[in-house]
A and B are shown apart, each in its own frame.
Chain A
Amino acid sequence: MNRRLEEKIIAFAYGELEPRAEAAIRDEISRSPEAASLYADYRRSAELFGALPEAPNPSLGTERLKQEILSRGLSRQPRWFGTMGTIAGAAVAAFLWIMVSSHPSRTTSETPAGEEFAVSATATETKRGSVPAVPIIKGPTTEGLTAATETLSHPKPAAKKAPARTEAWRSASTPLRIGHAVSSGASSSAVPTTDEGIVADAAVRSFGAAERIAPTPPAFNGDEVVLIESGAPEEHGTTRATEARFPDGVSIGG
């Protein structure tokens, strides 16, 4: 049976056929048993489907809907609300940007190296959690450098957690630097060369930014002298130091 005729038979069975086409289909059904069988099938399936029971009464109340809407935190707001929200957000963002850009930025040179390093190390430590604390270096003094180097040279339990990285650094061609603790002008013995030292070095390096934050103390030069402000309080020492160069022939000290 061709598709077109089948479509017409289906439409006829469902009562959708145009009245003028009905006569032709009736005629076809009466002549062809196949068409008659097809018509009977569609007619019955339409009846069976139509005879399906109606839906039982629902227990739908407006209160239930209201609760559902409220529980999801949905609320219909006027259209202008969204626009106002966007404008307010943009205004706050602009204000913050202006505040940030107009505020004088704090540079590393303004801050004592020890303080910066301490803050940086503490922040990083909190973030990483497992990395052990690195000693806070109070300032670029020789004692401080030595103390820091010594402390770093001792193995830390948590620092051993990254042996793979240590291996990578071990194979590096240039020695790793421990921020300001190992200055370019310091003696080579200050640079940790032992395994422990490398581990400690790795621990310091893992803190990151130490090299960036802490300035490198200048190497001692015989011509240069640091003048320390007189009358500084005993508790914390001087806050100012001036570097001066003396001409040849000037003796300093006793």
Chain B
Amino acid sequence: MEAAAYANAQGSAAATDNALISAAKSGDFSSFERLYERHRATVYRFAYHMTHSRDEAEDITQETFVRAFQNLHRFRKEAKFTTWVLRITTNLCTDRARMTQRRSALEQQEAAGSLEWMTVGRTVSPIEDLEKERQAQMVRKAVNALPSHHRQVLIMRDFEEREYTEISEILGCTVGGAKLRVLRARRALRDRLAPLLKEMEQ
């Protein structure tokens, strides 16, 4: 069966994640590479929105797949590979957020400023739309100020538009629990954005 899975993974471009995982489990690294190519963008996007830093997001993405490779034998076939790797990513992001919290406020500000300047992709030119950029920065700041668990669900639901079922699988909770977390996170975001919202209202 593993040999068949291996052949499938080698030959067909449309090989399923499960076939690739089976092949990777039996020692075929190229199958794992294909899994990486398939899902790295998803992981990277999520990590980027969590950290707002390209370097950190890349590091997290790589670490996620290293851990996935390391723990491939623990993967259950009934789960989705994306869900599983995103769960790893979520944990890594949480760990990183905890580490960041430990830094002093000054260090954090400095690091955030320099990293933003160096790594954040500026899709909107400040010359073209200064106001929009300012708003985006305020939103980013507000999002960054949110606790990690709030940020995670907001990115999953309101940025990546994932279903509540999938979010619940990633977070390891019930669908109702996922809905509740999203609701709380939205409330928290609104509270953080209150100054900007007031300004916009005026």
Contacts and interface: CB of A to CB of B under 8 A. Distances in A.
Given A54-B123, A55-B48, A66-B29, A74 B189 contact: no
Interface stretch (B56-64, B80-88, B93-101): B56-64
B200 interface: yes
Interface residues on A, range: 20 to 34
A143 to B, nearest CB: 68
B196 A48 contact: yes
Interface in A14-44: 14, 40-42, 44
B29 A10 contact: no
Q: Which of A10, A44, A56, A72 has the most CB of B within 10 A?
A: A56
B24 A76 contact: yes
Q: Which of A44, A55, A64, A72 has the most CB of B within 10 A?
A: A55
B70 A65 contact: no
B131 interface: no
B128 to A, nearest CB: 13
A53 B121 contact: yes
Interface residues of B, number: 51
Interface in B173-202: 183, 186-187, 189-190, 193-194, 196-197, 200-201
Contact of A58 (B33, B54, B66, B197): B54
Contacts of A77: 27
Contacts of A59: 58
B159 A50 contact: yes
Contacts of A48: 135-136, 139, 193, 196
Contacts of B119: 56
Interface string B70-84: 101100000000000
Nearest to A48: B139
A69 B72 CA distance: 13
A53 B62 CA distance: 22
Contact of A62 (B36, B123, B200): B36
Contacts of B49: 52, 55
A127 interface: no
A210 to B, nearest CB: 52
A134 B29 CA distance: 61
A236 interface: no
A209 B160 CA distance: 72
Contacts of A60: 40, 44, 58, 61-62
18 contacts: A41-B197, A45-B190, A48-B196, A49-B143, A49-B158, A50-B159, A51-B136, A53-B124, A53-B136, A54-B45, A56-B121, A56-B123, A58-B61, A62-B33, A72-B66, A74-B66, A74-B70, A76-B27
